[in-house]
Amino acid sequence: MIEARSLTKTFRDKKRGEIRAVDGVSFRVEPGQIYGLLGANGAGKTTTLRLLATLLQPTAGTATVAGFDIVAAPEKVRARVGFLATSTALYGRLTAREMIAYFGRLNGLAEAEIKVRLQRLADELDLHEFLDRRCEKLSTGMKQKTSIARTLIHDPAVMIFDEPTLGLDVMAARAIVRFVRDCKGRGKTVIYSTHMMSEVEKLCDTIGIIHGGRLLAEGTLGELRARTGEHDMEEVFVKVACPEEPA
Amino acid sequence: MSWRSIVTVYGKELRDSLRDRRTLLSMIIIPVVVMPTLVFSLGRIGSRAYARAREEVPVVMLLGGVDSPMTTAALQQSSRFRVVPESADYRQLISDKKIRAAVRIPAGFDAGLRGGTAGPVVILHYQGELKSGFAVGEIDAFFRELREKTVTAALAAHGLPASLVAPFAVRRENVAPPEKVGGNAIGGFVPYLIIMLCFSGAVYPAIDLTAGEKERGTLETLLCSPVARVDIVLGKFFMVLTSSLCAMGLSLVSMALTLTVAGVATGSVGRGVQAVAAQAGGGALPLISPLGVAGVLAMVLPVAVLFSALLMMIALFAKSTKEAQTYLMPLAFVVLLPVAIGLLPGVELNTRLALVPILNLSLVCKEILSGVWHWNYIALIFGSTCAYAGIALALTVRMFNREEVLFRT
């Protein structure tokens, strides 16, 4: 489960002064649920997810992830989280097998356990063909699959996806979407950030619209449509994020 | 802190680095092949150029001396140099290296020799020019012999023994063991080499493991793992240290082997080394006490830690490898300066200098290699360098915990 409580993150910029990248964001995601964080570029999605993954520390507020506080026990949180983003790359000089096993070791798994889990992931994600190929030689789709296996090797209870389909072709993006659904099916708590309306419509149980660091609206797709009186997700988003914008 | 995590990170970095051509180049190829080849080739080229310059009979211009036929004839007959007739542009000719020196014989020199009133002989040369220097040496030797002959003749004319001007001889006898002579002769060069190799061996991995990872996006992946940041930074640090020590160790072994093999094969490895070897009473390789080498290596260890931590800290701040290279370039000069000061003659170890990092190592290594073990200074230098290394490492760990550094875009 994820529970964010007034999560706030400010940065200092020499030119622009204090920037509130995330401003008092609160939400709750239950196991077996996909929470979609929808926002334009620079809305605060990545910062929110980095806070939940304990890559950044909140300036104010906090969150509980899989039963642990992100400020008090960041290492325990990370041990229960799988974080996948376009910015989380693979080590080019390691093979896919070495990459996945490395993260197994970092997560404190024993060698025998890593072997078993790697075999299972290779079967599930169809990695066998390129498991012993260096990551730098893999295609984008193969890299994505390896990244997914990397996030799953320690079987985390919570999955955080930060725009995972960005820059991918249709087939690779579909594979990701399928995988996210699969995570939900396995009872994992999933948070998924994107600026693509179609993905939100397809995947998410609850949608949070974030803009200027603030969570402006939250609800199911039906609730948001009802509140804005719009059917098209893009129109829903525009009405919430920029109400002054002409339709 | 978990040693299991540190070893895991280190193991991965080692495997990754050994697959990287650039790391292999800086850690193994350059120290094992390039450095010894460079040093050996430079030595060979230098010794050959020196030998060729020595073999050349210098061309010397004779100025004046028309009224001193005896001296001018002796000069012209000398096999030490080749005398050419006087020309008005002798200064230009020396500058243009057409002639190596000129010698001006004062008016009435022969008559003055007989009467003991000869004026001074002037040697005109080009200071700093090797061949001109050789010419001056030969002219000097000629006139020294002439002076001795004149004095001996004068003494004989008065029925006095030649030994009157040299009533006793002075002889030098070396009491220093060969390894200490060797240590003194190359004591300044060895720490210089070691320090520079330690530094250069750490530069590339320090950049690749920090700024390089940021640039490639793998640092964020690594930070997602539950491993504490202190363990990540220590795992990476040990890899940089390994590279630094590897570069130094391999280079020293390779250079020693090259010199030994070359010495055995050719019987000489250049005049510089030959001279040292002759001084030291050894073969082609100057003798250095193994204890001295072990002492130097022990003293170098905290400096390698200092370099590795410092380089990582600076490179970590950079957004890209290019930016890191820009930051680290001036650091090479900062390191080079104290090492160069340590090589200067007359700069000796004292309590104040013992606290100056790098310079203290350069000076103490010189002493250790020449067999002088000032234990109080050694303890002070080792302790202070360990403290500096510890501070640098602590700062690097602190830097690794700063979000604005890790996610600097």
How confident is the model over A89-139, as pLDDT tens digits?
899 999 999 999 999 999 999 999 999 999 998 988 888 999 999 999 998
The SS3 call for residue B180 is helix
**Residue B280, pLDDT score:** 43
Query: Using the beta-carbon criterion (under 8 Å), do B225 and A103 form an inter-chain contact?
Result: yes
Alpha-carbon span B190 to B202, nearest angstrom: 19
Chain A residue with minimal CA distance to B228?
A: A75
Q: Does residue A192 surpass a pLDDT of 80?
A: yes
Structural domain of A124: 89-155
> Which of B22, B225, B400, B404 should be substituted to probe chain A, the one whose Cβ sees the most A Cβ atoms within 10 Å?
B225
Any A CB within 8 A of B3 CB = no
Query: Using the beta-carbon criterion (under 8 Å), do B224 and A55 form an inter-chain contact?
Result: yes
Q: Are A125 and A176 in contact (CB under 8 A)?
A: no
**Chain B hits for A107, Cβ within 8 Å:** 225-226
3-state SS record for chain A: CEEEEEEEEEEEECCCEEEEEEEEEEEEECCCCEEEEECCCCCCHHHHHHHHCCCCCCCEEEEEECCEECCCCHHHHHCCEEEEECCCCCCCCCEHHHHHHHHHHHCCCCHHHHHHHHHHHHHHHCCHHHCCCEHHHCCHHHHHHHHHHHHHCCCCCEEEEECCCCCCCHHHHHHHHHHHHHHHHCCCEEEEEECCHHHHHHHCCEEEEEECCEEEEEECHHHHHHHHCCCCHHHHHHHHHCCCCCC
Q: Are residues A170 and A205 in the same domain?
A: yes
Q: Does the complex come out with an ipTM higher than 0.95?
A: no
* Predicted confidence pLDDT, tens digits, chain B (409 residues): 889 999 999 999 999 988 988 888 877 888 788 877 877 788 788 888 888 888 889 999 999 988 999 899 999 998 889 999 899 899 999 999 999 999 999 999 988 888 888 889 999 999 988 899 999 999 999 999 998 888 888 888 888 887 887 788 899 887 776 656 655 566 667 777 888 888 888 999 999 999 999 998 899 899 999 999 999 999 999 999 999 998 888 888 887 777 677 665 554 444 444 444 444 444 444 556 677 778 888 888 888 999 999 999 999 989 889 999 998 888 888 888 888 887 777 777 888 888 888 888 888 887 787 777 888 888 998 999 899 989 999 999 998 888 888 886 6
Amino acid at A155: D
- Choose among A78, A91, A98: nearest Cβ to B225: A78
Q: Are residues A178 and A202 in the same domain?
A: yes
Record the tokens describing residue A16, joined without a space: 């622009």
Q: Are residues A38 and A126 in the same domain?
A: no
Q: The domain at B56-164 falls in which architecture?
A: 3-Layer(aba) Sandwich (3.40)
For the full predicted model, state whether its pTM sits above 0.80: no
> Which of B221, B236, B400 should be substituted to probe chain A, the one whose Cβ sees the most A Cβ atoms within 10 Å?
B221
Boundary-marking domain end, from A155, A177, A205: A155
Q: Are residues A51 and A128 in the same domain?
A: no
- Choose among B5, B221, B404: nearest Cβ to A89: B221
Boundary-marking domain end, from A155, A185, A210: A155
**Chain B hits for A108, Cβ within 8 Å:** 4, 226
Q: Are residues A149 and A185 in the same domain?
A: no
- The DSSP string of B10-27 is HHHHHHHHHT-HHHHIII
Q: Are B102 and B63 in contact (CB under 8 A)?
A: yes
Any A CB within 8 A of B409 CB = no
Instruction: Find tokens 């504490």 and name the residue.
Output: B228
Amino acid at B195: I
Query: Using the beta-carbon criterion (under 8 Å), do A88 and B217 form an inter-chain contact?
Result: yes
Beta bridge partners of A9: A22
**Residue B267, pLDDT score:** 46
Q: Are residues A137 and A112 in the same domain?
A: yes
> Which of A18, A105, A135, A154 should be substituted to probe chain B, the one whose Cβ sees the most B Cβ atoms within 10 Å?
A105
Number of other CB atoms surrounding residue B392 within 10 Å: 21
Any A CB within 8 A of B407 CB = yes
Alpha-carbon span B305 to B316, nearest angstrom: 16
Query: Using the beta-carbon criterion (under 8 Å), do A56 and B403 form an inter-chain contact?
Result: yes
- Choose among B216, B220, B226: nearest Cβ to A78: B226
Q: Are residues A67 and A140 in the same domain?
A: no
Collect all residues from A whose CB is shorter than 8 A from any CB in B. Answer: 11, 50, 53, 55-57, 75-76, 78-79, 81, 83, 85, 87-94, 98, 102-103, 105-108, 150-151
Q: Are residues A190 and A242 in the same domain?
A: yes
What are the pLDDT digits (tens) for A60-85?
Answer: 999 999 999 999 999 999 999 999 88
**Residue A94, pLDDT score:** 94
Q: Are residues A105 and A123 in the same domain?
A: yes
Q: Are residues A163 and A247 in the same domain?
A: yes
**Chain B hits for A50, Cβ within 8 Å:** 407
Alpha-carbon span A141 to B211, nearest angstrom: 26
The domain spans of chain B are 3-50+178-406, 56-164
Instruction: Find tokens 């948001």 and name the residue.
Output: A224
**Residue B287, pLDDT score:** 56
> Which of A70, A91, A154 should be substituted to probe chain B, the one whose Cβ sees the most B Cβ atoms within 10 Å?
A91
B328-334, long-range: CB < 8 A, 24+ apart: B328/B203, B328/B206, B328/B207, B332/B199, B332/B203
- Choose among B9, B19, B221: nearest Cβ to A93: B19
Q: Are residues A237 and A210 in the same domain?
A: yes
Closest among B193, B200, B196, B182 to B368, alpha carbons compared: B182
Alpha-carbon span A165 to A193, nearest angstrom: 10
Quote the number of domains for chain A.
2
Chain B residue with minimal CA distance to A78?
A: B226
CATH number reported for the structural domain that contains residue A216 in this entry: 3.40.50.300
Q: Are residues A22 and A55 in the same domain?
A: yes
